[in-house]
Amino acid sequence: RADIKMDYKQLKVWDLKLSDAGIYTCKYGSHEVHTSLHIFKLTISSDGHFLQNEVPELILMQNSSSPQPDLSITLFNSNNNRVTTELQRKTHQKYIVNLKKLEAMDSGTWVCQVRSDSPLLNHNISFAVKVLGFQNPDLERKYATVDSPVILSWHLNAQKIKWKAGFTGQLNWIQQEGANAHELLDFNVTAQGQLHETKKSSNFLFEIPERKPEIIIKVKLPKVDFNHSGQYQCQLEYQGRHAQSKIELVVMKVSANPDGPLSSGANMTLTCQVSGPLPPNAYLRWERVNGTNMEVKNSRQREVKLEVNISAAGLWSCHLIEDDDRKISLHYHVEEAPVWINYIIIGASVGGSLLVFALGCLCIISGISWQRRMQRAKRMAQARQNLLENRTCQCQQ
């Protein structure tokens, strides 16, 4: 592992080991020069390949001919920003350091800066960190309206960091907390960065859109149903370790009661509802397009259902507002009943009133007639009784 260049008085050693540390002496005639070789060995757990949210362990070892100096270790990430570390164990020869939880953006070349005051040392050691994960937020919320299409996407950084080893993953859908998970698709990525997907679910309507060269896991719901809401979780697996990213799909729907045209003077109830809980900074709003401020109603905090009683026809809109930003809107057109329908309704009302009045009068007349018949029958019965009594008296005489 060594080579001597006599012309330049040089000794070159390859593949240095900790045991190569010590004092090297060069003798040339009566001249003698001593050089102390101090060797560092830096190793990183998992061979520098991590999933997001994992905590790497860094081990730095040193060896020299003199007593091992007390080292100061500083780490810089790929953006040359200083990284907070936690020193787990320390001896004069071995230092074990834990890094923070990694994110996908932490991939790149890191630098370990080693310093010592006695002897004076200042040495930089470069090492590679590859973090496989999602460029999505840890929990992303996506809103959709009923019957509209929606695409859920998970962006992986595997191609960006030129990941050498393959990994597998799956996409699951959980409608509500504690419910069974439905596996939608399996996927794997080869060492060449090619993505292969296999559709698993047979009772769920979705599509796998065409993808660009980037590694993106996508599912498309061509026509969202209210029951399609819930958590869609994409999970990666590499050497028994897991990383995951969730998208919460919230679906909105509107309805009316009654759902027919709005007659003059009548009322209608419009209902706007979302499928899942809202964050504290989100709320629902009903308003009539080109209406007045009196025709605006907001929901309370965390309220997932908002009703409004209306008496004016027109275009009504329900908005889901988060941080003063309208995320989605759903419109409901309330038609005004034609004039002839109003006349029919008025006529039916008047006719009904007259019919009730006529029935009432008929009942009164029938009652009076019945009462008179009863009285007449009583009088006739009394007359017959009197006549019978008179005839009896005449026979006795």
CA distance 189 to 73: 37
Q: What is the pLDDT of residue 397?
A: 46
CA distance 28 to 232: 74
Q: What is the pLDDT of residue 391?
A: 56
Name the burial class of residue 143, with classes exposed (0-12), middle (13-18) and buried (19+) by CB atoms within 10 angstroms of its CB: buried
Residue 61 in domain: yes
Task: Give the residue from 334, 357, 381 where a domain finishes.
Answer: 334
Residue 214 in domain: yes
CA distance 70 to 85: 17
Q: What is the pLDDT of residue 340?
A: 44
Q: What is the pLDDT of residue 219?
A: 92
Residue 182 in domain: yes
Nearest residue to 115 via CA among 124, 126, 106: 124
Residue stretches of the chain with pLDDT short of 70: 164, 202, 211-213, 337-353, 355-358, 383, 386-397
Q: What is the pLDDT of residue 341?
A: 45
Tens of pLDDT, residues 11-30 = 889 899 999 999 999 888 88
Q: What is the DSSP letter of 105?
A: G
Residue 299 in domain: yes
Nearby residues of 229 by Cβ (< 8 Å), 6 or more positions away = 175, 249, 250, 251, 275, 276
Same domain assignment for residues 235 and 150: yes
Q: Which residue type occupies 123?
A: H
Can you give the length of the chain in residues? 397
Residue 161 in domain: yes
Same domain assignment for residues 232 and 267: no
The CATH number of the domain where 272 resides is what? 2.60.40.10
CA distance 14 to 2: 6
Same domain assignment for residues 238 and 270: no
Task: Give the residue from 250, 266, 287 where a domain finishes.
Answer: 250
Total structural domains in the chain? 3
Same domain assignment for residues 25 and 127: yes
- The β-bridge partners of 269 are 257, 309
- 228 close to 176: Cβ distance less than 8 angstroms: no
Same domain assignment for residues 30 and 72: yes
Residue 350 in domain: no
Task: Give the residue from 250, 284, 317 where a domain finishes.
Answer: 250
Q: What is the pLDDT of residue 50?
A: 92
Domain membership of residue 157 as a residue range = 140-250
Nearest residue to 235 via CA among 164, 183, 277: 183
Nearby residues of 42 by Cβ (< 8 Å), 6 or more positions away = 58, 59, 60, 61, 112, 125, 127
Same domain assignment for residues 229 and 266: no
Residue 362 in domain: no
Same domain assignment for residues 86 and 107: yes
Residue 375 in domain: no
Same domain assignment for residues 281 and 237: no
> CA distances (Å), 201 to each of 177, 206, 207, in order?
20, 9, 11
Same domain assignment for residues 265 and 221: no
Tokens at 26, concatenated: 């060069």
Nearest residue to 256 via CA among 309, 191, 212: 309
Tens of pLDDT, residues 45-70 = 988 989 999 999 999 999 998 888 88
Same domain assignment for residues 246 and 262: no
Same domain assignment for residues 125 and 173: no
Same domain assignment for residues 188 and 278: no
